Amino acid sequence: MIVGLDIGAQWIGARTGIGRYMVELAAWLPKAAPEARVEVFLDRPPEMVNEEEWATLRAMFPAAPLRACSGRLPVYAPSATRKARRWRVGPMLRPFDPLVQRLCAAVNEGASPWARALKRRRCPPEPGRAQVMHVMLCPSYPWRRRGNVITIHDIIPLTNPEWVPASDGRRMRAQLDFARRRCQAVITVSEFVRGQLIARGLAPERVTATPEACAPAFRPRDPGHQAACRAAAGLGPEEPFVLFVGTLDPRKNLRTLLEASAAVRSAAPHRLMVIGKNPYGPDPDLAGRDIVRLTGIEDEMLAGLMSAATLFVLPSLAEGFGLPVLEAMACGCPVITSNTTSLPEVCGDAAILVDPLDANALAERLRALLRDEPLRRDLRAKGLARAAQFSWERMARETFAVYRRVAQEDRP
């Protein structure tokens, strides 16, 4: 079976979230289902992909053929040009999708230099020969009516639009519209998100949850590796520290952790390490606080820091899955996280769950766990056992079962 993975250009080089999901799925599908042949489709014409991006894509998908989008402009997806964005299809124009599609191509051929170059290039194959096209964000080939699968990681832009740019909300509505009208199956990464989609009208039999997992790098590291990572981050050999990993936007709720950490630091001395940046704007000002800041570190170092950390804390207000929590547990780090959305589903009884809006409750849990070594040992053991229940092979196997069902339904 030929499976096309329709990826978004904004995830080129991404090592977390959707980027991690795409890479692991492409790598594990041929192992979990040898009959699967994976091809990767990029939602850009080849003229808009530079050599560095091609090299990054080849590193992300070393075993899969890479194919750029054809000259026909995707109208459901946010486009790479401002002119194209004027032609995004709205509810009033949906009956005229094919006409608008042709207008997009015609307008841009005369208005954009890269579009004029399309006449001179060799067109890559359309994905028509793929029995299944798995869309990761918005479709590059929205006119395809059969054999479509889409993964929806969360619907936070609709449930909490105040946390994200307006463009994220438009993209999310386009994803749901495509899922309802053109997809034979929808995949989510948690039962929580699956329930949200069913509540918004998707048929339960069309929505399947296939949980994510950790990369092989995330495992308990030996003391030597931990010491090297501590030194690289500017920490002492035995210095206790609390680790936070995530984007620094309001949804991750770093402010509550800062308050809780400051409240208990005198009673339970520790450093706070924050790894991440704000994807939507400038990072919050953390000057004057006893905080270690890191960004853009590799998995090897992150796994070493997770193994060395006294605690991992993620007081997020909402998650579609919560992969950093699972990665911390896989490294043997005790976890405190939120009792909301998908996080209880991921953690089970292997983490301390708190109300993310209650800084006092979080401070109390921090103080208790920083002082209680036997409880931390118990959480380490439970976390390792819990993380072992998740695997990318299982995710790929369950995803291929969805492909097989969609391909069978598509037969005349």
Query: pLDDT tens digit string along 163-198?
Result: 998 888 888 988 898 899 889 999 999 999 999 999
Residue bearing the bigger pLDDT, 116 or 290? 290
pLDDT value at position 106?
Answer: 47
82 pLDDT band (50/70/90 cuts)?
very low
Give me the chain's average pLDDT, please: 84
Residue bearing the bigger pLDDT, 65 or 78? 65
CATH of domain 2-213+392-409: 3.40.50.2000
CA distance linking residue 268 with residue 322, whole number of Å: 27
285 pLDDT band (50/70/90 cuts)?
confident
125 pLDDT band (50/70/90 cuts)?
very low
Question: CB of 152 within 8 A of CB of 179?
Answer: yes
Taking the CB of residue 329, how many other CB atoms lie within 10 A of it?
Answer: 31
105 pLDDT higher than 50: no
9 pLDDT higher than 80: no
Portion of the chain with pLDDT greater than 90, in percent = 58
Q: Could you give the dihedral angle defined by the CA atoms of residues 310, 314, 320 and 324, in that order, rounded to the nearest 10 degrees?
A: -30
Q: What is the crossing angle of helices 359-371 and 373-387, to 10°?
A: 100
Q: How far is Cα of residue 334 from the mean position of the Cα atoms in its chain? A: 23
215 pLDDT higher than 70: yes
pLDDT value at position 123?
Answer: 37
Look at domain 223-387 and name its CATH class.
Answer: alpha beta
CA distance linking residue 48 with residue 214, whole number of Å: 32
CA distance linking residue 104 with residue 28, whole number of Å: 37
17 pLDDT higher than 90: no
Residue bearing the bigger pLDDT, 104 or 256? 256
pLDDT tens sequence across 334-392: 999 999 999 999 999 999 999 999 999 999 999 999 999 999 999 999 999 999 999 99
Domain 223-387 in the same topology as domain 2-213+392-409:
yes
Rounded average pLDDT over 77-86: 35
Ranges of each domain in the chain: 2-213+392-409, 223-387
Residue bearing the bigger pLDDT, 38 or 54? 38
pLDDT tens sequence across 140-165: 766 677 889 999 999 999 999 999 98
